[in-house]
Structure 1
Amino acid sequence: MSFVSLRDLRVSFDGVPVLHGIDLDIAKGEAVGLVGESGCGKSVTWLAALGLLPGKARVSGSVRLEGEELIGAPRPAVEKVRGARIAMIFQDPSSSLNPVHRVGRQIGESLRLHRGLRGAAAREEAIRLMDMVGIPAARTRIDLYPHEFSGGQCQRIMIAMALAGQPDLLIADEPTTALDATIQAQILDLLASLRRQTGMAMVFISHDLGAVSAVCDRAAVMYAGRIVERGDVSALFAAPQHPYTHGLFAAIPEIDADRRRLQPIEGTVPDPKHLPPGCAFAPRCPRATGFCREHLPDLKPQAAGGEVACFYPVSLTQPHREKALA
């Protein structure tokens, strides 16, 4: 049985569907990447799963944690899971940390809520967590405010807060987007190291294919509120089969190549209020036919491995994988 299982997860805002039946399984200790452009539904999937969407959102389907249903569960039951068994970190630590409270107090609050630690015990554990995530001189800096740390250090503090509840699953929602390239690499190394140390599972939400390849075992590609391709990272990166995944790889610049025009995916993600009747990617897809524009493909297993929601899947060659990993 999967540790976390999503089945037919759907979300709508003011009657407009934005998530169209997500099925996803996470095993214990596994790292799964969610990839796609902004607006594809990556973050909404897990905000819905954890009950963090605003009241106007309508959520249906099933989210089970070791068989325990979270959708529609009483608020106290969900709160016992959120932050304790499943924790989430966000892409902008400056908006997640409270600027008027010292970081030690903020980590201590998580320790009090999820592990019942108070006083000196909470302080020592907060220092230990800051050390674990690589904050230098943690013992002397625990009483500083967020603005006294760099952006990368603030993200490390957010990770420490997430680890305070000793979660079984960490949701990392684009945790490196607001950081420069060097700090991004450090945070990715930190997440991989923490996963090895703690044995926790991880969902890594990102539009950065290289980052996903660095920390994930499997990946799912999302488009317009649906998963359009998923499989093992190595196989998916070696030979992606959905035209959208194909386009994502083709758009990656090659540092050592001649000066040539990039190959962007023309157009934009469709407005959820005006989705095309068939495949949502058809208006942007160079392989689309009239059949694609009228019928919606299901996510189905492929002979080459993985699952793809496309009537005319394609494949890429090894060099594209090397581009993403560069």
Structure 2
Amino acid sequence: MTKASGAMTSNFVELRDLRVAFDGVQVLHGIHLDVAPGEAVGLVGESGCGKSVTWLAALGLLPGKAEVSGSVRVSGQEICNAGRGALEAVRGGKIAMIFQDPSSSLNPVLRIGRQIAEALFIHRGLKGAAARTEALRLMDLVGIPDAHRRFDHFPHEFSGGQCQRLMIAMALAGEPDLLIADEPTTALDATIQAQILDLLNRLRAETGLALVFISHDLGAVSQVCERVCVMYAGRIVEQGTVSELFSEPRHPYTRGLFDAIPMLDGPRSRMVPIPGTVPNPRHLPAGCSFSPRCANAVELCRHDMPALHHDGADRGLACHRPVGTAPGRLSQTRILESIQ
């Protein structure tokens, strides 16, 4: 829920009016988002909607040409466009991020034990035998079998799923309060995906870790998150609890995401794709960015950008013409069944 900037809150992270531009082209348009301690928030949408950019901007990880404005507060401390020292105190120690492709994030010429030990030294000052002991504990924690033997293996000697587990182990090395998982299951087969989701749920239960789960997979989001934000063209267009959003998606884009999920069991039905593509940030429509792809659009939609209005504690919607209250083609139960 978006709260007034002057109000006392219990949120761990607060993003307020976060905006990003590259070479004068706006790609994020005023993101407001909170993450409470221990909460799991899903961020969903098609590729190019701004999900990863939101958190790369928040942590100061975008290239120098990016123009970032707004507010990013972590435990009440402002870090948007902060200096290197302030950012390094947050990155890894308070907030850790695992990136989309573990194979490109791990150093191929360094043994995996050394890479985890390096993170332990940077964030906690551990070295030598103490670092090795803790690295082995983290490898055991994330489910790497025979950790003592595999401590000295190189990244190419691990499977894709194991590399993702190792990335999670490295992220946990700094004992962060928040883990940002950017498409952590995209390149994995269904069985390994389920194992990674189970691991994230177990880690949250055991450590009290907060989680931001970035994904285009609504089924995966429903398994690990309590709240979901739907992004389109650099804006949050709908948000709510998992049960609210899955039982009653109100934005036509959210409904389109549900209708595009293939059914793997039950009666056959034609999958309904969303027509068109995410617009180029250089050529956004004058009104609602989704209006060229929306069957519900009217003239108002094509000329007036709807604001995100909140209805209750968690429910938010930015739409002039929301869809009806009838469930979409797939309910939350059917989505869960279709991925198990």
Q: TM-score, normalised by structure 1?
A: 0.98
CA distance in 1, matches of 2:295, 2:331: 18
Aligned equivalents of 1:206 and 1:189: distance in 2? 16
Indicate the residue corresponding to 2:24 in structure 1.
15
Deviations 1:133-176 (A, max 9, x none): 00000011100000011110010000000000000000000000
Q: What is the aligned partner in structure 2 of residue 226 from structure 1?
A: 235
1:195 aligns with 204
70-79 or 33-42: bigger deviation: 70-79
Counterparts of 1:313 and 1:303, CA distance in 2: 17
Q: Does the alignment pair 1:212 with 2:221? A: yes
Give the paired residue count.
326
Shift of residue 200, structure 1, vs aligned partner: 1.0
Alignment partner for residue 327 of structure 2, among 297, 302, 317?
317
In the alignment, structure 1 residue 252 sits paired with structure 2 residue 261: yes
* 1:19-98 paired onto structure 2 within 5 Å: 19-98=28-107
Q: Provide the secondary structure at the position in 2 that maps to 1:182.
A: helix
Deviation of 1:310 (Å): 0.3
CA contact (8 A) 2:60 2:81 kept: no
Structure 1 contact 221–227 (Cα < 8 Å) conserved = yes
**Structure 1 residues 298 and 145: alpha-carbon distance in aligned structure 2, compared to 1, 3 A threshold:** same
In the alignment, the residues of structure 2 paired with residue 191 and residue 11 of structure 1 have an alpha-carbon distance, to the nearest angstrom, of 29
Q: Judging changes above 3 Å, is the alpha-carbon distance between structure 1 residues 54 and 261 closer, same or farther for their aligned structure 2 residues?
A: same
For 1:125-144, what aligned pairs fall within 5 Å after superposition? Answer: 125-144=134-153
Residues 179-206 of structure 1 deviation map (CA, whole Å, 9 limit, x = unaligned): 1110000000000100111101000000
Q: Which residue of 2 aligns with 1:146?
A: 155
Q: CA RMSD in A?
A: 1.3
Q: In the superposition, relative to structure 1, how do residues 96 and 321 fare at CA in structure 2: closer, same or farther (>3 Å)?
A: same
Distance (whole Å) between structure 2 residues aligned to residue 172 and residue 269 of structure 1: 23
**Contact 1:253–1:323, Cα closer than 8 Å, also in 2:** no
Retained in 2: the 8 A contact 1:244–1:285? yes
Name the counterpart of 2:176.
167
Do residues 308 (structure 1) and 320 (structure 2) align? no
Corresponding letter in the other structure for 2:327: T
User: Is 1:262 matched up with 2:279?
Assistant: no
1:290 matches 2:299: yes
Q: Does the residue aligned with 2:331 lie in a helix, a strand or coil?
A: helix
- Provide the TM-score with structure 2 as the length reference: 0.94
Residue 88 of structure 1 aligns to a residue whose secondary structure is: strand
Q: Is the 8 A contact 2:103 2:160 kept in 1?
A: yes
The answer for the alignment partner of 1:236 in structure 2 is 245
CA drift at 1:219: 0.4
Q: Percent identity?
A: 69
Q: Which runs of 5+ in 2 are unaligned?
A: 1-8
Which residue matches 2:3? Answer: none
Pick which of 172-181 and 301-310 moved more: 301-310
Report the Cα distance in structure 2 between the residues aligned to 1:67 and 1:303, rounded to whole angstroms. 24
- Corresponding residue SS for 1:113: helix
Verify the 8 A CA contact 1:84 1:165 in the aligned structure 2.
yes
8 Å contact from structure 1 (residues 8, 61) kept in 2? yes
Matches of 2:237 and 2:136, distance apart in 1: 43
Counterparts of 2:314 and 2:223, CA distance in 1: 21
Q: Describe the SS at the equivalent of 2:133.
A: helix
- Structure 2 SS opposite 1:20: strand
Q: 1:267–1:149: structure 2 CA closer, same or farther, 3 Å change rule?
A: same
TM-aligned CA deviation for residue 304 of structure 1: 11
Distance 1:130 1:273, change over 3 A: same
Given that residues 250 and 320 in structure 1 are in contact (C-alpha distance below 8 angstroms), is that contact kept between their aligned partners in structure 2?
Answer: no
- Give the Å deviation of 1:321: 2.4
For the residue of structure 2 that corresponds to 1:292, the secondary structure is helix
Q: Is the 8 A contact 1:241 1:316 kept in 2?
A: no
Confirm or deny: 8 A CA contact 1:11 1:57 kept in the other structure: yes
The alpha-carbon deviation at position 322 of structure 1 amounts to 2.7
> Per the alignment, do residues 163 and 36 of structure 1 end up closer, same or farther by CA in structure 2, a change over 3 Å counting?
same
Q: What is the rounded CA distance, in whole Å, between the counterparts of 1:70 and 1:282 in structure 2?
A: 35
Task: Give 1:302 shift.
Answer: 3.4
**2: CA distance between counterparts of 1:30 and 1:320?**
23
* Alpha-carbon distance in structure 1 between the residues aligned to 2:117 and 2:51: 30
Contact 1:252–1:323 under 8 Å retained in 2? no
Q: Which runs of 5+ in 1 are unaligned?
A: none
Code of the residue aligned with 1:256 in structure 2: it is: D
Alpha-carbon distance between aligned partners in 2 of 1:218 and 1:130, rounded to the nearest angstrom: 29
